[in-house]
Amino acid sequence: MTTKTELSYRASELRDLINKYNYQYYSIDKPEVTDSEYDRLFNELKQLELAAPELLTSDSPTQRVGGQALDKFSQITHALPMLSLDNVFDADEFKAFDQRVRDWINSTETQTYAAEPKLDGLAISIRYEQGLLVQAATRGDGAVGEDVTVNVRTIPTVPLKLLGDNIPNVVEIRGEIFIPKQGFDQLNQAQIAADKKPFVNPRNAAAGSLRQLDSKITASRPLAIYCYGIGEVIGITAPESHSAAMKQLEQWGCRISPELQLVKGVQGALDYITYLGKKRDSLPYDIDGVVFKVDNVALQQRLGFVARAPRWAIAHKFPAQEEMTVVEDIEIQVGRTGALTPVARLRPVFVGGVTVSNATLHNEDEIRRKDVRVGDTVIVRRAGDVIPEVVQIVPSKRPDNSIEFVMPSLCPICESDVERVDGEAKARCSGGLYCGAQRKEAIKHFASRKALDIDGLGDKIVEQLVDAELIKDAADLFHLTVSQLASLERMGEKSAENLVNALQMAKQTKFARFLYALGIREVGEATARSLASYFLTLDALKQANEEALIDIEDVGPIVAHHIVTFFEQAHNREVIERLISAGISWPKEQKLESSSELNGKTLVLTGTLEKLSRSEAKEKLLALGAKVAGSVSKKTDFVVAGRDAGSKLTKAETLGITVVDETTLIAWLN
Ligand code: JCF
């Protein structure tokens, strides 16, 4: 028979084990047990607690799922106030901060600063007594915050019990709670699928999730924490530097930023800002700047604080990724495949480091959901290389006379009917190549870099040529004369000659490029390559039916259908014939059964290659049956990192993808 003490001992053992595995899995991403082992232990503990409720303790990992809903949050006075940070926006302002620090402590020495990303989330103070989480409070006004203990207990990266030794009687751990970008995207997809309003940005989602009266909702949200400091601490000797405090936090099982570094003086700080600025877009969470802190705690104490902000710390802000502006107009763009995209023309605004005057409104459903109207004041977001988008309107600033936007039922360019296929988000112009917009886009695509790569044939020139009715389709390009081209506005005789030569040159191409250039729906570069190496000749491809096409890697039923439909159209067949008779040709494709280990693998090249040019490397890899992708994802098999590799390398490391150097690549290629 098992005694009560034995059961209680086992429960305690299970709690500690599960809390440790939890830490390994969520906080440091180094799981040491399988999911099934974890689940088994978890269930064992749950059963024990069910059978003997007195075994249930506050640090039990079974209690992370949330509990009874609250009526309201009660107030909590922080034992030590929660400080905010003063901001600087450029190098001069940072220099001034450093000077103020040194003046105050009367030092000419180079200061050591602890540097870390400034997360865009919400500040939290978590109180541990005897190592057990007893209370968690939001920042509030810095002195008094809200009691969100039950909610914070659901966050997997927050320890319910501190690990290791040197556990103080009391410690308040300060940190930032946030939702990683990926979790945010998933959360919003789920919100939309459930017909609920998506969140505007990860920060709002984190705030909304943490301030739920029903902690079960909080438990279902992908919240995480990075800790950045210690408030009150009783019962141990407080660490002598910020960096030592952070190491201590780490040893207690608290997550701290992996980007935390010590830097020396102004130059070190500025270098760190540059470093993190480059990395900003590839980090898995939103940041809005860098935090610098005087590392030495004795100096921090001498510096003290003014109002709510310490003199010993500063936030260097990055350019905001969201700004407000006004929608001056909403226009419809017609894409190559007829897709209609509503675009907001904006009063120019500086956001994410550039001036933005257009933002996509994506499609009909999006514009309706956000109810964006001409005249509205809106929040525009531009993060990384993504197209700027309208996040939301500011309802209080809507003018009285505004009218709801309706998608046109006729194409604004060619007046053909607009169709919307069930299940597709985009409305489309049904005009096909009758539509001037679609023709322009088709020709631009034909000339683009990854297609026929016609040097000097930019978008503007294509538009002029179509508008002047000098060309109707891609085949017409090859009959243009120097004098016709020179008749265009802003086109000199010399440029016209160059363009005619470039057209001549572009006639020698590759089968895959030609296929890609045709602009068949859903046939991208990779699919075009698969088609080329499978069918070898244009005639073979033209005769393929959907069944034959689906056999090819990369080709699903939808693409197969688009391909067959494309070649069925008399117009398309005619343009292809005219292209061929104008002299477009390519070397005969060789059937190659690659036996290379790289066959079918996806690689990403990043950084500077020294012995091989990037295009050379790519060509050789393709010849071996490998794919070369532009960005790192879970599907990437290898990342080849050259000199000064940056964000792609970081991403590969985050995703645990094998990274090789150039020497290894060359060995593989030979
Ligand atoms: O990541 C943050 N948002 C962050 C906020 C990081 C810090 O190290 C902070 C902070 C607010 C106050 N440190 C203080 C003292």
- Are the CB atoms for 157 and 166 separated by under 8 Å? no
- pLDDT value at position 149? 96
Three-class secondary structure of residue 510 per DSSP: coil
- pLDDT value at position 557? 93
Local confidence band at 470 (pLDDT 50, 70, 90 cut-offs): very high
- pLDDT value at position 421? 86
Q: Is 118 in the pocket of ligand 1 (CB under 6 A)?
A: yes
- pLDDT value at position 594? 59
Rounded to the nearest 10 degrees, the angle between the axes of helix 35-51 and helix 4-22 is 140
- Are the CB atoms for 106 and 299 separated by under 8 Å? no
Which protein residue has the closest C-alpha to ligand 1 atom 13?
A: 228
CA-closest candidate to residue 332, choices 322, 320, 341: 341
Q: Is 313 in the pocket of ligand 1 (CB under 6 A)?
A: yes
- Are the CB atoms for 356 and 349 separated by under 8 Å? yes
Q: Is 268 in the pocket of ligand 1 (CB under 6 A)?
A: no
Which protein residue has the closest C-alpha to ligand 1 atom 8?
A: 228
320 CA to middle of ligand 1, Å?
Answer: 17
Residue 364 has a CB neighbour count (10 Å cut-off) of 19
148 CA to middle of ligand 1, Å?
Answer: 19
Q: Which helix or strand (DSSP H or E) is residue 88 part of?
A: strand 87-88
Q: Is 291 in the pocket of ligand 1 (CB under 6 A)?
A: yes
- Are the CB atoms for 70 and 153 separated by under 8 Å? no
- Determine the atom of ligand 1 nearest the C-alpha atom of 119: 1
78 CA to middle of ligand 1, Å?
Answer: 16
Mean pLDDT of 626-639: 90
Q: Is 145 in the pocket of ligand 1 (CB under 6 A)?
A: no
Q: Is 338 in the pocket of ligand 1 (CB under 6 A)?
A: no
Give the C-alpha separation, 342 to 339, whole Å.
10
CA-closest candidate to residue 174, choices 121, 214, 220, 215: 121
Render pLDDT for 210-262 as a digit per residue (tens, 0 to 9): 999 999 999 999 999 999 999 999 999 999 999 999 999 999 999 999 999 99
- Determine the atom of ligand 1 nearest the C-alpha atom of 293: 8
Greatest pairwise CA separation for the chain in angstroms:
102
Q: Per-residue pLDDT for 593 more than 80?
A: no
Structure tokens at 544: 């393929």
Render pLDDT for 9-42 as a digit per residue (tens, 0 to 9): 999 999 999 999 999 888 888 888 888 889 899 9
Local confidence band at 1 (pLDDT 50, 70, 90 cut-offs): low
CA-closest candidate to residue 357, choices 373, 371, 343, 367: 343
272 CA to middle of ligand 1, Å?
Answer: 17
Ligand 1 site-directed mutation target among 228, 262, 276, most atoms within 8 Å of CB: 228
- pLDDT value at position 28? 84
Which protein residue has the closest C-alpha to ligand 1 atom 5?
A: 118
Mean pLDDT of 138-152: 93
CB contact set of 410 (below 8 Å; sequence gap of 6+): 416, 417, 418
**Residue 59 phi, psi (nearest 5):** -95, 15
DSSP for residue 337 = T
Q: Is 228 in the pocket of ligand 1 (CB under 6 A)?
A: yes
Q: Per-residue pLDDT for 173 more than 90?
A: yes
175 CA to middle of ligand 1, Å?
Answer: 7
Domains present along the chain, CATH in parentheses: 4-63 (1.10.287.610), 83-317 (3.30.470.30), 322-397 (2.40.50.140), 418-581 (1.10.150.20), 602-669 (3.40.50.10190)
CA-closest candidate to residue 249, choices 229, 233, 234: 229
| C-alpha dist (Å) from residue 54 to 50, 57, 150 | 9, 8, 20
293 CA to middle of ligand 1, Å?
Answer: 9
- Determine the atom of ligand 1 nearest the C-alpha atom of 288: 3
Q: Is 85 in the pocket of ligand 1 (CB under 6 A)?
A: yes
Q: Is 246 in the pocket of ligand 1 (CB under 6 A)?
A: no
- pLDDT value at position 464? 96
Residue 325 burial (10 A CB sphere; 0-12, 13-18, 19+): buried
Q: Is 119 in the pocket of ligand 1 (CB under 6 A)?
A: yes
Local confidence band at 595 (pLDDT 50, 70, 90 cut-offs): low
Ligand 1 site-directed mutation target among 119, 125, 172, 176, most atoms within 8 Å of CB: 176
Give the C-alpha separation, 474 to 653, whole Å.
44
Q: Is the pTM of this model over 0.75?
A: no
Which protein residue has the closest C-alpha to ligand 1 atom 7?
A: 228
Percent of the chain clearing pLDDT 70 (strictly above): 99
CA-closest candidate to residue 229, choices 77, 58, 78: 78
- Determine the atom of ligand 1 nearest the C-alpha atom of 313: 15
Q: Is 83 in the pocket of ligand 1 (CB under 6 A)?
A: yes
Render pLDDT for 62-82 as a digit per residue (tens, 0 to 9): 988 887 888 889 999 999 999
Residue 259 has a CB neighbour count (10 Å cut-off) of 16
- Determine the atom of ligand 1 nearest the C-alpha atom of 117: 1
pLDDT averaged over every residue in the chain: 92
Mean pLDDT of 422-443: 91
- Determine the atom of ligand 1 nearest the C-alpha atom of 116: 8
- Determine the atom of ligand 1 nearest the C-alpha atom of 83: 12
144 CA to middle of ligand 1, Å?
Answer: 17
**Residue 228 phi, psi (nearest 5):** -135, 5
Name the residues annotated as catalytic. 118
DSSP for residue 24 = I
The count of C-alpha atoms lying within 13 angstroms of the C-alpha of 627, restricted to the half-sphere facing its C-beta, is 19
Render pLDDT for 474-531 as a digit per residue (tens, 0 to 9): 999 999 999 999 999 989 999 999 999 999 999 999 999 999 999 999 999 889 988 9
Render pLDDT for 314-371 as a digit per residue (tens, 0 to 9): 999 998 889 999 999 999 999 999 999 999 999 999 998 889 999 999 999 999 999 9
- pLDDT value at position 560? 95
Which protein residue has the closest C-alpha to ligand 1 atom 9?
A: 228
- pLDDT value at position 424? 86
Render pLDDT for 536-579 as a digit per residue (tens, 0 to 9): 999 999 999 999 999 887 789 999 999 999 999 998 999 999 99
Q: Per-residue pLDDT for 592 more than 70?
A: no
590 CA to middle of ligand 1, Å?
Answer: 60
- pLDDT value at position 442? 96
421 CA to middle of ligand 1, Å?
Answer: 49
